[in-house]
A and B are shown apart, each in its own frame.
Chain A
Amino acid sequence: MNIGKQLKEGLITQNPVLVQLLGMCSTLAITTTISNGIGMGLSVTAILTLSNVFISLLRKIIPEQIRIASYIVVIAGFVTMVDLLLQAYQPDIAESLGVFIPLIVVNCIILARAESFASKNKVLPAAVDGICQGLGYTVVLVVMSAIRELLGSGSLAGARVFPADYAATMMALPVGGFLTLGALIALMQWIQNKAKGGK
């Protein structure tokens, strides 16, 4: 087990959003404010870690033919728990994330990690994988939502940076999501190419 390698994969070389291009729907939809980004990122990280652990535990019991359905049942269980917890303790975030918390059930990052990692590895590496991939997702979400919140509504984490009259509202609309995501993916490719060329 190599935590450093898994962390590097989650954050950079196998970043779920910028390299694997998974979980696009929620990434584009909810990254309008930093609090949304953090809330969504941490929810996904928690669900991903827990479902990775459980699927890794059950990996010898789950029959090959119905594995996807079984994964979904496990994931849906944790999503329901997180959804209800958020509604109970963080009602503001739960309201602003809306349908995207229940939709984590079909978030392909979680299913992809279950299929490609948790079902083939022991519990501890699976848990670390969940945390690392979840962190990669969270970091991208926070960066994206910071850019979009700053340019789109002129504030950062709710604090006003410049008057809202000057903010480009397009950046808070879906257009801004696609523009920011495209720019970040390009930046990631550029960094990775630089790193390869440097060797």
Chain B
Amino acid sequence: MNYKELNLIGSSSPHLRTKDSAAHIMGEVLIAMVPALGFAVYNFGWRALANTLVSAAGCVFFEWLYRVLLRKNCTVGDLSAAVTGVLIAFVCPVTIPYWILLIGDFFAIVVVKQLFGGVGKNFLNPALAARAFMLSWAGEMTTWVGPRSAPPLWTTLFPGTVADAVTYPTPMALLHENNLAGLQQMYDLPKMLVGLIGGCVGEVSALMLLIGGAFLILRKVITWYIPASYIGSVALLTFLFPRGNDPLMWMLYNLLGGGLMLGAFFMATDYVTSPVSHKGQVIFGVGCGLITVFIRYFGSYNEGVCYAILVMNLMVWLIDKNVRPSRFGVPKVKKAPKAEKKEVDGK
């Protein structure tokens, strides 16, 4: 039989491909962020949408500019820069001036991402690193407005008008003062869940973030290991060590306030800066949870999600190096027996 007549194409594996690409996955992430963005517009006014668009455009622009200036292939199409831009807007107060957002975009895209080699090479989550850098302008970064307090449509879009906004305590500020009773009086539990509270643009609505997160898990963009272990460890710690005498309420307010949901579903799960194996991902999530609770309890900051994820980003290489999945069909290597301890005279 002459094989050449069979018209077979000779090629090495893989022979079956999915249509998944970076752009496809990042598109799904963008879709998953729409509910939270919609609620932010409802809660804070159109300025929230303007911030998000400006920040996303800024990130895409800096990515394009860097790639063009250095004559590298253009990677704007994979949408990762747009996701970073939206996340940067999400982790800032709605009153943030546009120029600070653009500096954050520059820091995230050029310094954190492109200088280390571009998409897939960043060692920190670009949006969170940018937030850490943007705390240079601590006043602007911690000016909070209350829920549903936005002036009519167009007046909020321009800087200057936001100066009249009254500084408003966020749930995290009250929790940091151990003032659970005051917080319960200010926001009841349904408000906390739905997100009718003060805070960063994208973090307020735990419900919308849960919907987005569930969408990502159902679409198999992310796995449940990191969000579950992260939120679970925060829940366990705050339930076991409550401040006040209502552990359940303390736990719920700790889970629903602050950036925990946003961080757990959209930031800690970033492929590039999280461990590869499931076991490693659980360790990563628990580490994030521990550091978050430690910062909330003992730190001078109200909220620890940003730094917790950044610190654990830096631990990923260590986790990946030490947590290796066992290879199929290969017997486990037995550890060499430990040398017996020498008897010490007189203990």
Contacts and interface: CB of A to CB of B under 8 A. Distances in A.
B136 A168 contact: yes
A170 B136 contact: yes
Nearest to B139: A165
Nearest to A167: B136
Contact of A171 (B115, B132, B136): B136
A166 B137 CA distance: 8
Residue of B99, B111, B137 with highest tally of chain A CB at under 10 A: B137
B252 interface: no
A179 B107 CA distance: 11
Interface residues of A, number: 10
A169 B136 contact: yes
A119 to B, nearest CB: 40
A170 B111 contact: no
Contacts of B99: 166
Contacts of A186: 115
A170 B132 CA distance: 9
A154 to B, nearest CB: 11
Contacts of A179: 111
B319 to A, nearest CB: 23
B158 interface: no
A169 B138 CA distance: 9
A168 B111 contact: no
Q: Is the interface of A mostly helix, strand, loop or mixed?
A: helix
Contacts of A165: 137
A143 B72 CA distance: 29
Interface residues of B, number: 10
B133 interface: yes
B68 interface: no
Nearest to A182: B115
Interface string B117-137: 000000000000000110111
Interface string B95-114: 00001000100000001000
Nearest to A175: B133
Nearest to A179: B111
Nearest to B133: A170
Contacts of B133: 168, 170, 175
Interface string A155-187: 000000000011111110001000100000010
A165 B139 CA distance: 10
A147 to B, nearest CB: 14
Contacts of B115: 186
A179 B116 CA distance: 13
Contacts of A167: 136
A175 B99 CA distance: 21
Contacts of B138: 169
Contacts of A170: 132-133, 135-136
Residue of B111, B133, B138 with highest tally of chain A CB at under 10 A: B133
Contacts of A175: 133
A171 B111 CA distance: 13
A77 to B, nearest CB: 42
B135 to A, nearest CB: 7
B304 to A, nearest CB: 18
Interface in B134-182: 135-138
Contacts of A171: 136
Nearest to A152: B136
Residue of A166, A171, A179 with highest tally of chain B CB at under 10 A: A166
A179 B111 CA distance: 9
A135 B245 CA distance: 64
Nearest to A171: B136
A85 to B, nearest CB: 37
A114 B136 CA distance: 41
A167 B135 CA distance: 11
Nearest to B115: A186
Contacts of B136: 167-171
Nearest to A168: B136
B70 to A, nearest CB: 11
A144 to B, nearest CB: 16
Contacts of A169: 136-138
A107 to B, nearest CB: 29
Contacts of A168: 103, 133, 136-137
A198 B138 CA distance: 46
Contacts of B111: 179
Interface of B: 99, 103, 111, 115, 132-133, 135-138
Closest 6 CB pairs of A and B: A168-B136, A170-B136, A169-B136, A170-B133, A168-B103, A179-B111
Given A168-B136, A186-B115, 16 more contacts: A165-B137, A166-B99, A167-B136, A168-B103, A168-B133, A168-B137, A169-B136, A169-B137, A169-B138, A170-B132, A170-B133, A170-B135, A170-B136, A171-B136, A175-B133, A179-B111
18 contacts: A165-B137, A166-B99, A167-B136, A168-B103, A168-B133, A168-B136, A168-B137, A169-B136, A169-B137, A169-B138, A170-B132, A170-B133, A170-B135, A170-B136, A171-B136, A175-B133, A179-B111, A186-B115
